Amino acid sequence: MTRATAGQDGPAGLPGDQRSRAAEPAPDQPPEAGSTRERILDVALDLFIEKGFDGTSLREIAEKLGFTKAALYYHYASKDDILMALHMRLHDVGRDGLKQLTDGPVSLAAWESLVDTVVGQMLAQRKLYLMHERNQAALEKLHRKDHDAEHEDLQQRFRQMLADPAISLRDRVRMACSLGAVFSVLFMAGDAFEGTTTQELGELLRQTVHDILAPEEKAEVELNSSSGTGR
């Protein structure tokens, strides 16, 4: 937990007696600290989507949970800490699958299976991508060494896979495009598809990915069939 500075919305801005209480487990907190932190993030996520990061106060988050602000400070020192924790949830999506893929031989079939899995994981976190889209300015202000290092690690793993000379250039381009399709739908255009059910969006997104990654022979057959020349 980071230390808030004077003048910010954090424990350092409280009088001495309140700082002492905030430094200890608050009486209205359940004993399961981990689950409490997750509840805080879930409530904050809904508020950041509805009202925006700047339009949401720590007091509102605490009131939604039935907490005092001092109890909230026990888990998160500032609103920035909550936003960072929500952003770090995105890093968990697909991390295990990506590690498995980069630890072994890369193939188009393995990539397709990975993307299929990641689509499911990302769809389960649609709210996170919507929050990210609606609060880009606030997120861009967050710069922390551990966060930046993890970003670089994930990007480096992708770059290594896409630079593998054992895979044809054509397949590597298609692999990159398939991932771009997923991110453009969920990460960049979440608002555009907000009214679409997760099931329908998932089916369409997976079909698009499979079309991008389809073997060349299959793509030619489908093209000929649709144009009538394959009869």
pLDDT tens-digit readout, 149-187: 777 877 788 888 888 888 899 999 999 999 889 889 988
String of DSSP letters for the chain: -PPPPTTSSSGGGS-HHHHHHHTS--TTS-S-HHHHHHHHHHHHHHHHHHH-STT--HHHHHHHHT--HHHHHHH-SSHHHHHHHHHHHHHHTTHHHHHHHHHS---HHHHHHHHHHHHHHHHTTHHHHHHHHHTHHHHHT---HHHHHHHHHHHHHHHHHHT-TTS-HHHHHHHHHHHHHHHIIIII-TGGGTTS-HHHHHHHHHHHHHHHH--HHHHHHHHHHHHTTT-
* Number of structural domains the chain divides into: 2
Radius of gyration, alpha carbons of the chain: 22
Q: Quick one: pLDDT at residue 33? A: 53
What percent of the chain shows pLDDT beyond 90? Answer: 39
Residue 188 falls inside a structural domain: yes
Last residue of a domain, one of 86, 104, 138: 86
Domain identity same for 104 and 217 = yes
pLDDT at 166 (0 to 100): 87
Residues 199 and 154 in one domain: yes
Residues 61 and 136 in one domain: no
1 belongs to a structural domain: no
Residue 19 sits in which domain range? 11-86
Residue 192 near residue 134 (C-beta atoms within 8 A): no
For every residue of 14-76, DSSP letters joined together read S-HHHHHHHTS--TTS-S-HHHHHHHHHHHHHHHHHHH-STT--HHHHHHHHT--HHHHHHH-
Check whether residue 157 and residue 217 sit in a common domain.
yes
Residues 158, 115 within the same domain: yes
**Distance (Å, whole) CA 189 – CA 109:** 27
With bands split at pLDDT 50, 70 and 90, how would you rate the model's confidence at 200? very high
Whether 48 and 100 map to the same domain: the answer is no
Domain end residue (candidates: 86, 110, 138): 86
Q: Give the model's confidence band at 34: pLDDT under 50 very low, under 70 low, under 90 confident, else very high.
A: low
Provide the whole-model pTM. 0.68
Quote the percentage of the chain above a pLDDT of 70: 72
pLDDT at res. 106: 77
pLDDT over threshold 90, residue 201: yes
Verify that 76 and 97 share a domain, yes or no. no
Residue 28: give its domain's CATH number: 1.10.10.60
Q: Are 43 and 75 contained in the same domain? A: yes
Q: Give me the pLDDT at residue 116, please.
A: 86
Domain presence at residue 2: no
Domain final residue pick, 33, 55, 86: 86
- Whole-number pLDDT of residue 148: 72
- Which range, 31-35, 40-44, 93-97, 105-109, is most confident? 40-44
Q: What is the mean pLDDT of residues 65-80?
A: 93
* Residue 143 and residue 193 in one domain: yes
d(CA 59, CA 64): 9
Averaged over 200-209, what is the pLDDT?
94
- Establish if 46 belongs to a structural domain: yes
